[in-house]
C-alpha cells in the first residue's frame, strides 16, 4: 500500500473543467451565440464564465454583469447553478471509478484521481488522453495533467503546461492583487517565484501561496479527502422543449435510467423503488412511484414498466424537466450459474409478469393469497400484494404496546372520551368462543386505553404508548 505522504509512490491525474457552468447549459461550443454564466446577487452580480464568442466581444470573467451587458447588449446571461455543477462532478467521478478507487472532488471545476496502479496497466499518457476523451464525450471541455503530487497535477491542468517550472502564477488559486504584486517585480511563473528568498516570499506574498507551492513540489504533506460513491440517486434532466407525449417522455426518462444503471454498476447495488417527478411550468410537479417486487437493476424491464405507466399517467400540463430519485440502494444479488440452469427459473419467471400487470392495472389490483395461522376456514387466508408474506401492517387497527395479563374491570366509563371502534375479535369454540368488540378511548388524563365490553361490564385490556 502506498504511503499517502510519499509523492514518489503516487501518480495523480487532474481533470479540470474550466467551463463546467457553461457545459451544463450546452453553451461552451464555438458555434453558439455569445453567452455567459453569472454569479452573485443583486448589485454584486458578475460574470462567472463566458464562452469564446462572448470573450471576443469583450466580456471577461469577473466583470460586473451590467458592464458586460453594456459592452455587448446581445449577450445571453444565465445564473450559475452550483448544485448542478456538484452533481455533474459526482456523475463524472462515477465514470472514473473504473480507473481509480481514490478520487477527490475539487470544486468547483476539477477531479483528482490517483492512477499509479492504472498507469502500470496502461501507459500514463494514454490513460490521460483516454479519460480526457471520455469526459469530453459527456459534453465537457477537459484539461488533464499528470504529476506526482495532487496539487501539482491540479495546477498543471489549470495552467495547461507540462512542467511546474513553467507554471504561470495565474493558475494559483490566490487573490488577484498578490499575482499583480509578483508580476510587477518580474515574477511570472513558479520557477521565478522559487528564486526569491523563502522568508521574503512568505512576508511579502503570504503563507497561502507558499503552502500551495510547497504542496505542488512535494515538500509538505498534501492530503485530499477521498470521495465515496453515494448510496442514493437524484438526477434532473432538462428537456429541450416541453412535451406531454408519453413516448418522448419515455425517451428522456431512459437517459436518467442509463445514468442510474451506471451508478448501480459502480456500487454493485440494486433498486426496488423509484420516484419520478415530472416538472411543469408554474405548477406542482406530477409525482409517480415505481415499485418492484424485489430489488433489481434490469433497466430494460424498468423502462418497459414505465412505458405502461406513462401511457396512463394523467399530466395536468406539458413537462419541462424530469427528476429521478432513489432513496435507498440494495445489495445486488447476482445469479450464480449452475449445471441445471432451468432449476429455479420458473419460480422467478412470474415476477416480471406480475410487475407488468401492476404497471398496467395498478398495484392494488394485483394480489395473491397468503395463508394465516388460523384454523377457521374464513380466516385462514388473506389477500396480499405480491412479494409480501403477510398482510400489510395498515390492514389491522393499532394494537396497544402494553397488554394487561388479565383484563381489568371498570367501575365507570365516564372519564373516557374520543372513542374509536368497534373492532370485533372472535375465536373458535376451542377457545371458549370469545366474541368481543374492542374500542380505543382516551382517559381524561391523556392516556389511551384498549377497552372491550362483556355482558354489562367494561374492561381494560391494554394501554397504548
Nearest to 380 by CA among 389, 388, 370: 370
Do 115 and 43 share a structural domain? yes
Question: Is residue 135 domain-resident?
Answer: yes
pTM (predicted TM-score): 0.65
The domain boundary residue, chosen from 339, 374, 396: 396
Q: Are residues 167 and 268 in the same domain?
A: no
What angle, 0 to 180 degrees and rounded to 10, lies between the N-to-C axes of helices 150-159 and 207-216?
100
Please report whether residue 91 resides in a domain. no
6 and 30 part of one domain: yes
Q: Which long-range contacts (CB under 8 A, 24 or more apart) does 171-176 make?
A: 172/209, 172/212, 172/213, 173/212, 174/206, 174/208, 174/209, 174/212
Does some domain include residue 89? no
Same domain, 8 and 113: yes
Residue 191 within any structural domain of the chain: yes
Q: How many domains does the chain have?
A: 4
Examine residue 339 and state whether it is found in any structural domain, yes or no.
Answer: no
88 within a domain of the structure (yes/no): no
pLDDT in tens, the chain (465 residues): 344 444 446 899 999 999 999 999 988 887 889 999 999 888 889 999 999 999 999 999 999 999 999 999 999 999 999 999 998 999 899 889 888 889 999 989 999 999 988 877 778 889 999 999 999 998 999 999 999 999 999 999 999 998 998 899 889 988 888 989 999 999 999 999 989 988 888 888 989 999 999 999 999 999 999 998 888 899 889 898 999 999 999 999 999 999 899 888 888 889 999 999 999 998 999 999 998 888 888 898 899 889 988 988 899 999 999 999 999 998 887 655 555 555 444 545 667 776 666 666 666 667 677 776 654 444 556 777 776 655 545 556 787 878 888 889 998 888 898 888 888 877 655 555 667 888 999 998 889 999 998 878 899 988 986
The verdict on 437 and 379 lying in the same domain is: no
SS3 label, residue 228: coil
Q: Which residues contact 284 (CB under 8 A, 6 or more apart)?
A: none
CB-based contact 256:306 (threshold 8 Å) = no
265 in the same domain as 247: yes
Residues 134 and 206 in one domain: yes
Identify the domain containing residue 299 by its residue range.
233-331
Point out the domain boundary residue: 224, 248, 282.
224
Do 240 and 272 belong together in one domain?
yes
Grid cell listed for 121: 496497466
CATH number at residue 315: 3.30.1490.100
CA–CA gap between residue 176 and residue 179 (Å, rounded): 5
Same-domain pairing of 303 and 410: no
- Examine residue 198 and state whether it is found in any structural domain, yes or no: yes
pLDDT (tens digit per residue) in 361-377? 666 667 677 776 654 44
Q: Is residue 5 part of a domain?
A: yes
Judged on CB neighbours under 10 Å (0-12, 13-18, 19+), 337 is exposed
Amino acid at each position: 500500500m502506498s504511503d499517502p505522504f510519499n509523492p514518489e509512490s503516487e501518480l495523480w491525474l487532474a481533470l479540470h473543467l474550466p467551463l463546467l457552468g457553461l457545459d451544463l447549459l450546452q453553451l461552451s461550443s464555438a458555434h453558439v451565440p455569445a453567452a455567459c454564466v453569472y454569479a452573485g446577487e443583486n448589485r454584486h452580480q458578475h460574470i462567472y464564465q463566458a464562452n469564446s464568442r462572448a470573450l471576443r466581444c469583450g466580456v471577461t470573467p469577473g466583470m460586473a454583469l451590467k458592464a458586460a451587458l453594456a459592452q455587448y447588449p446581445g449577450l445571453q446571461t444565465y445564473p450559475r447553478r452550483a448544485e448542478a455543477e456538484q452533481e455533474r462532478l459526482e456523475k463524472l467521478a462515477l465514470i472514473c471509478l473504473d480507473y481509480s478507487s481514490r478520487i477527490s472532488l475539487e470544486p468547483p471545476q476539477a477531479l483528482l484521481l490517483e492512477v499509479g496502479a492504472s498507469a502500470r496497466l496502461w501507459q500514463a499518457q494514454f490513460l490521460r488522453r483516454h479519460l480526457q476523451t471520455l469526459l469530453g464525450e459527456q459534453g465537457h471541455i477537459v484539461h488533464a495533467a499528470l504529476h506526482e503530487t495532487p496539487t501539482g497535477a491540479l495546477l498543471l491542468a489549470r495552467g495547461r503546461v507540462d512542467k511546474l517550472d513553467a507554471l504561470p502564477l495565474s493558475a494559483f488559486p490566490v487573490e488577484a492583487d498578490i499575482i499583480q504584486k509578483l508580476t510587477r517585480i518580474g515574477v511570472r511563473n513558479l520557477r521565478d517565484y522559487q528564486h526569491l528568498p523563502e522568508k521574503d516570499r512568505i512576508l511579502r506574498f503570504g503563507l497561502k501561496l507558499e503552502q500551495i507551492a510547497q504542496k505542488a513540489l512535494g515538500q509538505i504533506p498534501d492530503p485530499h479527502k477521498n470521495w465515496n460513491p453515494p448510496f442514493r440517486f437524484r438526477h434532473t434532466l432538462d428537456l429541450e422543449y416541453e412535451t406531454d407525449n408519453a413516448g418522448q417522455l419515455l425517451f428522456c426518462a431512459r437517459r436518467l435510467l442509463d445514468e442510474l444503471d451506471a451508478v448501480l454498476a459502480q456500487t454493485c447495488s440494486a433498486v426496488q423503488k423509484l420516484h419520478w417527478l415530472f416538472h411543469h411550468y408554474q405548477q406542482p410537479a406530477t409525482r409517480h412511484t415505481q415499485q418492484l417486487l424485489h430489488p433489481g437493476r434490469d433497466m430494460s424491464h424498468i423502462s418497459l414498466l414505465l412505458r405502461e405507466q406513462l401511457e396512463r399517467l394523467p399530466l395536468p400540463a406539458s413537462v419541462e424537466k424530469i427528476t429521478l430519485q432513489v432513496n435507498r440502494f440494495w445489495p445486488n444479488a447476482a445469479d450464480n450459474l449452475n449445471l441445471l440452469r432451468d432449476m429455479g427459473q420458473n419460480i422467478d419467471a412470474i415476477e416480471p409478469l406480475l410487475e407488468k400487470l401492476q404497471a398496467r392495472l395498478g398495484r392494488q389490483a394485483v394480489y395473491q393469497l397468503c395463508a394465516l395461522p388460523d384454523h377457521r376456514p374464513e380466516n385462514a387466508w388473506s389477500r396480499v400484494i405480491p412479494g409480501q408474506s403477510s398482510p400489510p401492517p395498515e390492514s389491522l387497527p393499532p394494537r396497544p404496546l402494553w397488554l394487561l395479563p388479565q383484563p381489568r374491570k371498570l367501575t365507570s366509563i365516564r372519564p373516557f372520551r374520543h372513542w374509536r371502534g368497534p373492532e370485533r375479535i372472535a375465536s373458535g369454540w376451542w377457545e371458549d368462543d370469545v366474541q368481543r368488540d374492542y374500542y380505543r378511548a382516551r382517559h381524561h388524563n391523556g392516556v389511551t386505553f384498549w377497552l372491550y365490553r362483556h355482558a354489562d361490564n367494561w374492561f381494560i385490556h391494554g394501554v397504548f404508548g
